[in-house]
Amino acid sequence: MQALRKKILKIHQLLVDAYGDPPRPRLDPVSELVSTILSQNTNDTLRDRAYDRLRERYPTWEQVRDAPVRQIEKAIRVCGLSRQKAPRIKKALQHVTRERGALTLDFLRDLPVDEARQWLMSIDGVGPKTAAIVLLFSLNKPAFPVDTHVHRVTGRLGLIPPRASAEKAHVILEELVPAELYLPFHLNVIVHGREVCHARKPQCHACVLRRLCRYYAEVIRPQTRVPSVPRVPTAGTQGTQGTQGADLMIETWA
C-alpha cells in the first residue's frame, strides 16, 4: 500500500509537469449534477454545448424541472442520448425538490462525505461517479470520481487490480490518492487518457508514465526487444563447439 502511494505521488508530479495544475470547476452543485448527467457517453465540447442550450432555453432549474420532457430533449439533443438524459434530468430535479422543498444541494456541505454520497445516489440514475463529481467539484468534499479514462489508465498503471470494477476502483483510489490531490490527479489522468493512453492504441512511446506503468512493462516493452543475433564465427574457430551457438543479445527499450 505504501509503495503504491509513493508511486501515485510520482505519477501526479509527472502529470503536473506534462499538463499543468488544472483549475477547479466552478458550478454550483445542482448545475454540476445536470452537467454530469449530460456528460455521459459524450465529450466535453458537446456536453457544454447541450448545457448552454438548455440554460438559454430555461434560465432556471425550476423551469427545467417543470418543462415537458420532449422540450428538454430537444434542447440537449446535440450531446446524444437525449431521450435517456432528458427524463433523467427532470426526475433528478423533481427528486431534489420533493426531498428538500427547494432546488438546492447546498445542505450536502454539512453532511459527512459518505452520507452526502448516499443521498446523491438515492437519485435515480446517479451512480458513484456522478455523486463523486458533484461532491468533489462543487462541494470540495473528499470523493474521488472514476470515469472510463481514470478506470483504464489507473488499471494499466497497476494502481487497481486488473479485474477491479469501476465501483471498486472508487474505493481503492480514495484510499490510495491523498485527498488534497483528488482534483488535480483525477483531471490530469483524464487528460492523459484522452491524449496518450487511448483505449485501443495507447501511445506508449510518447507516455511520460511508461517507466511506472505495469501495462508497458508486461505487454509493450517485451515486444520492443530485438531478436538475438547469432555471433559470426571468426577465423580458426569455425566448427568448434560452443562458438557457433553463442548469441550476441541486443536489447532496445522504447
Enumerate the active-site residues: 129
| Residue type for position 200 | R
* 3-class SS string, 189-216: HHHHHHHCCCCCCCCHHHCCCHHHCHHH
Nearest-angstrom CA–CA distance, 156 and 114: 28
Residue 104's contacts (CB-CB under 8 Å, 6 or more residues apart) are 29, 30, 96
CA 45 to CA 39: how far, in whole Å? 9
Distances (CA, A) of 53 to 85, 102, 143, 185: 14, 23, 29, 30
Q: Please report, as a single letter, which amino acid is at residue 127.
A: G
Give the H or E element holding residue 229.
strand 229-230
Q: 151 near 192, Cβ under 8 Å?
A: no
Q: If residue 16 lies in a helix (H) or strand (E), which one and from where to where?
A: helix 2-19
Question: What's the one-letter identity of residue 148?
Answer: T
Q: 201 is written with which cell numbers? A: 492504441
Contacts (Cβ under 8 Å, ≥6 apart) of 106? 28, 29
Residue 117 identity (one-letter amino acid): R
